């Protein structure tokens, strides 16, 4: 019985570590990469317009990564609006008269 409890505790700890790693990646690594991209763009081009576009792109990517679950859920609701998988819905053609045969 204690082996089962230890296994459940181990799985819980792994899930918590995975959530922490995900938070670190989203909240630390993504902004650092975005800032470095903007600074690199500024250093190479010295153009305020290109740097601004790089800043907007980095912000958009950070927003997309941070809100991935929201985007996934919205896409799921759009494609899967009635609670069943769209790929599982197969409709057979129905012949209405002799002309379609």
Please list the pLDDT of the chain residue by residue as tens digits (101 residues).
667 767 777 778 888 888 888 888 888 888 999 999 999 999 999 999 999 999 999 999 988 888 777 666 666 666 665 555 555 555 656 666 665 55
C-alpha to C-alpha distance for 95 and 75, rounded to whole angstroms: 34
Angle between helix 68-79 and 48-66 (nearest 10): 70
Dihedral over Cα of 21, 23, 29, 30: its sign: positive
Residue closest to 50 by CA, chosen among 40, 60, 61: 40
* Structure letter (DSSP) for residue 101: -
Which pTM does this prediction carry?
Answer: 0.55
Q: How many distinct helices (H) and strands (E) make up the chain? A: 4, 0
């Amino acid at each position: 019985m204690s082996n089962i409890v230890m296994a459940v505790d181990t799985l819980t700890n792994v899930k918590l570590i995975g959530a922490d790693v995900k938070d670190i990646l989203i909240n630390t690594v993504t902004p650092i990469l975005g800032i470095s991209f903007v600074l690199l763009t500024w250093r190479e081009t010295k153009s305020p317009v290109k740097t601004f576009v790089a800043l907007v792109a980095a912000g958009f990517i950070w927003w997309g990564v941070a809100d991935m679950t929201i985007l996934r859920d919205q896409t799921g609701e759009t494609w899967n609006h009635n609670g069943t998988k769209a790929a599982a819905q197969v409709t057979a053609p129905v012949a209405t008269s002799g002309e379609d045969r």
